[in-house]
């Protein structure tokens, strides 16, 4: 592992011992239309002079049916890990239970922390309701509510842990800025809900502001996710690169795909510290498999992402501009063919030939692309650890007395609190209900009781255990605790609503 530093070790892959040696990449031809569009893509890569060597592995339906429930044979992992760069065609997930999503397995197993999904319209050559859209959603892929840490704590209440980390945030945000530079983009928009979640989303926003300062050449802005999502749906052309947390990114990337109307032309990348996987957004389209009608563009554009990723920006540019020129020429596969807009309907192979013929040409009406050489690398900045001090504890109780009167609970807790500790407040679903709560506030069986030290004695684990022991002894059902810390004197916990 590279300790979260380089996205890909280009020193071994690209520069290598012999700079002219081809870069080995793993290729999976998938099933359905997978083999046809992979053949088309590799032909174009070869014709453009991409310095790549292909190690092919089997994934998908046949592998599932051989009894590998993840859709990939154990020996294929070694090839993927060794080559570090993986171009994957779509696969068919067999119907029936027990089969796991290969994408989720690959993403989780290989720590692919960034999901990068460009959305673009190619009007007037491909019909679109938003002709000006040209944006990329860079979604954090591992943290946030998707860490999958859930607990039912009382009869009435379940919780999920939303984890946002400084290294995880820094890595994805740096990636977004590096991506913007590599792809000649001008603006990065961060979206969070930090007006509500000040510590988790607030951390992501703060790290964004810090990292943005290091990229004065790239414009940066922050939008609250709700209005940001609304603007994305209504005015997608105002966005360039969007970087955001896992759940928001999941939703935003689907909104962006939908409004661009070009899902069939979209590629996507999943990027990790070591390994990166590139694929089309669409599936294996079994309805048109083997008919030479599939559009290879989604996979081809994913392959251009792959080339920029490994530092072959010039070849990526050559391919993308030839592809744009082909679209402009009106040479279209059936999925995007429109009477009046298109000139000639072609199959997969003829479309591939048309792109190859146009290598070296630049589009006239659609904006040609220009990528910066150098590839994408992310190096987090070292920072000193801050001084952490324990200043109190939130004890969560399961308490379901008949009338659920917070004043009864408060008085009972005060009577059971050992010397040196004081009950500061009780909240229910985050709202302060004691002391001085309002009778209208609805109360569940899940109570957060905040205790602080009052006697100047140590606030440490033995003191906390003494408190919990006393509460247990007084008959209270403590279901969990959260320690209240300060970091360099700064409060590391939220106040109760009304505290």
The residues binding ligand NAD (CB under 6 A) are 33, 37, 90-93, 103, 264, 279, 282-288, 294-295, 298, 335
Q: How far is the CB of 460 from ligand NAD (least distance, A)?
A: 51
Q: How far apart are CA 51 and CA 85, in angstroms?
A: 13
Upstream peptide bond of 124 is cis (omega within 30 degrees of 0): yes
Question: Which of 286, 368 has the CB closer to ligand NAD?
Answer: 286
In angstroms, give the least distance from the CB of 56 to ligand NAD. 16
Closest-CA residue to 240 (of 177, 307, 297): 177
Beta carbon of residue 82, minimum distance to ligand NAD (angstroms, whole number): 22
In the complex, what is the shortest distance from the CB of residue 335 to ligand NAD, in angstroms, rounded to a whole number? 4
Nearer to ligand NAD, 25 or 393 (CB): 25
Residue placing its CB nearer to ligand NAD in the complex, 32 or 311: 32
Q: Nearest CA to 283 among 16, 32, 15, 18?
A: 32
CB of 171 to ligand NAD, least distance (A): 24
User: Cα separations (Å) of 359 from 49, 329, 407?
Assistant: 10, 13, 77
CB of 252 to ligand NAD, least distance (A): 18
Counting Cβ atoms within 10 Å, is residue 18 exposed (0-12), middle (13-18) or buried (19+)? exposed
Nearer to ligand NAD, 91 or 133 (CB): 91
User: Is 38 or 188 the residue whose CB approaches ligand NAD more closely?
Assistant: 38
Smallest gap from Cβ 21 to ligand NAD, in A, equals 30
Considering the complex, state which of residue 92 and residue 244 has its C-beta at the smaller distance from ligand NAD. Answer: 92
Write down the least CB distance from residue 286 to ligand NAD, Å: 6
At closest approach, how far in Å is the CB of 299 from ligand NAD? 8
Complex with ligand NAD: residue 103 or 428, whichever CB lies closer: 103
β-pairing, 187-192 with 219-224? parallel
Closest to ligand NAD by CB, 298 or 363: 298
Kindly state the smallest distance separating residue 72's Cβ from ligand NAD, in Å. Answer: 12
Please identify the residue of the shown chain whose CB is closest to the bound ligand NAD: 283
Closer residue to ligand NAD (CB): 41 or 428: 41
The least distance separating ligand NAD from the CB of residue 167, rounded to whole angstroms, comes to 28
Report the residue number, 93 or 379, with the smaller CB distance to ligand NAD: 93
For residues 243 and 288, which CB has a smaller minimum distance to ligand NAD in the complex?
Answer: 288
């Amino acid at each position: 592992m590279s300790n979260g530093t380089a996205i890909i070790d280009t020193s071994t892959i690209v520069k290598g011992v012999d700079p002219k040696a081809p870069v080995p990449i793993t290729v999976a031809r998938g099933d359905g239309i997978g083999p046809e569009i992979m053949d088309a893509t590799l032909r174009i890569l070869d014709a453009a002079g991409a310095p790549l060597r292909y190690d092919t592995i089997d994934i998908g339906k046949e592998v599932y049916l051989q009894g590998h429930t993840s859709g990939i044979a154990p020996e294929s992992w070694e090839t993927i890990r060794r080559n570090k760069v993986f171009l994957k065609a779509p696969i068919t997930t067999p119907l029936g239970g027990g089969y796991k999503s290969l994408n989720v397995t690959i993403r989780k197993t290989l720590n692919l922390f960034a999901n990068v999904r460009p959305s673009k319209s190619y009007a007037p050559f491909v019909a679109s309701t938003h002709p000006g859209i040209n944006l990329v959603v860079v979604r954090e892929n591992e943290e946030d509510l998707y860490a999958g840490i859930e607990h039912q704590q009382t009869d009435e209440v379940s919780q999920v842990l939303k984890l946002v980390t400084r290294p995880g945030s820094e890595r994805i945000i740096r990636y977004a800025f590096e991506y913007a530079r590599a792809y000649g983009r001008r603006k990065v928009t961060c979206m969070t809900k930090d007006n509500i979640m000040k510590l988790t989303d607030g951390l992501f926003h703060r790290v964004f502001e810090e990292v943005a300062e290091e990229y004065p050449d790239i414009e940066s802005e922050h939008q609250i996710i709700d209005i940001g999502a609304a603007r994305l749906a209504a005015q997608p052309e105002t966005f360039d690169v969007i970087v955001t947390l896992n759940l928001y990114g999941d939703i935003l990337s689907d909104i962006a795909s939908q409004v661009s109307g070009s899902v069939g032309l979209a590629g996507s990348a999943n990027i990790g510290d070591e390994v990166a996987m590139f694929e089309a957004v669409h599936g294996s389209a079994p309805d048109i498999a083997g008919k030479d009608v599939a559009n290879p563009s989604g996979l081809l554009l994913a392959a251009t992402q792959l080339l920029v990723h490994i530092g072959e920006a010039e070849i990526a540019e050559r391919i993308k501009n030839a592809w744009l020129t082909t679209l402009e020429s009106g040479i279209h596969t059936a999925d995007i063919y429109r009477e009046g807009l298109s000139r000639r309907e072609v199959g997969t192979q003829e479309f591939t030939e048309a792109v190859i013929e146009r290598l070296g040409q630049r589009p006239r009406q659609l904006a040609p692309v220009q990528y910066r050489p150098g590839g994408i690398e992310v190096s987090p900045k070292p920072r000193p650890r801050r001084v952490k001090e324990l200043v109190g504890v939130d004890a969560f109780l399961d308490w379901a007395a008949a009338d659920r009167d917070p004043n009864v609970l408060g008085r009972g807790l005060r009577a059971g609190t050992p010397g040196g500790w004081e009950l500061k407040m009780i909240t229910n679903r985050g709202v302060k209900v004691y002391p001085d709560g309002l009778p209208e506030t609805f109360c569940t069986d899940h109570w957060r009781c905040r205790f602080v030290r009052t006697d100047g004695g140590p606030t440490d684990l033995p003191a906390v255990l003494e408190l919990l022991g006393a509460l247990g002894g007084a008959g209270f059902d403590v279901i969990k605790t959260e320690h209240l810390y300060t970091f360099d004197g700064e409060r590391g916990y939220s106040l109760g609503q009304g505290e």
